[in-house]
Amino acid sequence: MTKKDKVAFTIKTLERLYPEIPIPLDHKDPYTLLIAVLMSAQSTDIRVNKITPLLFARASTPTEMIKLTVEEIRDIIRPVGLSPMKSKGIHGLSKILLEKYNGLVPQNFEALEELPSVGHKTASVVMAQAFGVPAFPVDTHIHRLMYRWGFSKGKSVIQTERDAKRLFPKEKWNDLHLQIIWYGREYSPARGWDIDKDIITKKIGRKTLLKGYKN
Exactly one of 86, 121, 163, 198 is catalytic; name it: 121
Q: Which residues contact 27 (CB under 8 A, 6 or more apart)?
A: 33, 35, 36, 52
Q: Which of 45, 139, 163, 198 is catalytic?
A: 139
121 is catalytic: yes
Q: How many CB atoms lie within 10 A of CB 88?
A: 15
Helices (H), the chain: 3-17, 30-39, 45-58, 62-65, 70-77, 83-101, 109-113, 120-131, 140-148, 157-167, 173-186, 199-204, 207-210
Dihedral sign from CA coordinates of 53, 58, 63, 65: negative
Report the C-alpha gap between 37 and 162 in whole angstroms.
21
Q: Are 132 and 30 in contact (CB under 8 A)?
A: no
Is 139 catalytic? The answer is yes
Query: Distance between CA atoms of 52 and 25, rounded to whole angstroms?
Result: 9
Catalytic residues: 121, 139
